[in-house]
Amino acid sequence: MRFQFSVEELQFIVQPKRVHGRFDGIISSIANLREASSGSLSFFANPKYAQDVAHSKASILLLPEDFEFSPRVNQVAFFCENPSLSLTKICQHIEKLNENSKAAEIDPSAIIHPSVRLAKNVSIGPCVVLEERVSIGENSTIGAGTFIGKHSSIGHHSKIFPNVSLMSFSQIGNYAVIHSGAVIGSDGFGFAKIAGKNEKIPQIGNVILEDFVDVGANVTIDRARFASTIVGEGTKIDNLVQIGHNVKIGKHCIIVSQVGIAGSVTIGDGVTIGGQVGIAGHLHIADNTQICAQSGVTKNTAPNSILLGSPAIPHGEAVRQFASIARLPEILQKLKRGVPSNPFLGEDL
């Protein structure tokens, strides 16, 4: 995104604890410490990059308030309580400026049923299809090629990126973001084995995304067999996640890429699920559970637990098991040398 800020404008956005140095030019890019150049803004938050701060050519540096640093000529340091949060504020401001620069419009190629209700300032991109009785709240944007099925609703200030499929009766809240390729409300995977054949079980429920939910690219969220598949307020879902039918996800959860959640799982508030985690069906994941990457969850979890492994077990226990497994070759070599005829280990040792 294009932008231009003076030092004074950025200082107003960030509100740093203190400012050292001077730069009279314009900031027009954001870069990491090593790649930054004159006219760039950069930040330091991870201790592993501490040595890069002194050599950075960025014109503005966002630094922790207790970090010792003297800016060079034509360089300014903003000392902030949280440099990452300060950068987030700047990026949010840039995003708003770019959004506000676009006039709300309805592309003439869009196919919109006469019963559709559009609030003020709604933008509809090329080749969008809106079926009957769809409603879209004010200041929402629907990207090109998106399909929204009948009786679906989208709240205000939501952004649907191009090529999203939102199936019938879906309900999307306010300030939601759904990225390209996502399919919301596809049929749940419901089949019954009858006389040796897989018979389809109708999926007649829907999907509800509450306010401030983010859905990544190519995410699939299945409609419920009946009632609703629900994603709670403030939950953020990374790319390539599969959420099965009748799943209930609580508020302010984080679900990282390539997670698979089977049907009828209930997930509490504040849960974090690492990449490539699999969760078996009909389980309860309690509030504030943390599930480490590539774990396989087969049992209900306790609140505030940290799980690792497949099957997932408490983190500390899993680490001890992994450490023991890593030592097995060494232990076997010792046994071969020291106990060659142990009947419990076999004569071939």
Please list the active-site residues: 245
In whole angstroms, what is the distance from residue 294 CA to residue 302 CA? 19
CB atoms closer than 10 angstroms to residue 264: 17
State which amino acid sits at residue 118.
Answer: L
Q: How far apart are CA 289 and CA 271, in angstroms?
A: 5
Q: What is the DSSP string of 160-182?
A: E-TT-EE-TT-EE-TT-EE-TT-
Q: What CA–CA distance (Å, rounded) separates 42 from 57? A: 9
Question: Tokens representing 331?
Answer: 């232990």
Rounded (5°) CA angle 16-42-33 = 135
Order of strands across the sheet with 40-43?
Answer: 18-22, 75-80, 60-64, 40-43, 29-30
- CB count in 10 Å sphere of residue 323: 9
Residues 6+ apart with CB under 8 A from 148: 128, 129, 130, 131, 134, 142, 154, 160, 166, 170
DSSP readout, 193-218?
A: EETTEEEEPP---EEEE-TT-EE-TT
Rounded Cα distance between 68 and 77, Å, is 11
Query: How deeply is 265 buried, as exposed, middle or buried, from its count of CB atoms within 10 A (0-12, 13-18, 19+)?
Result: buried
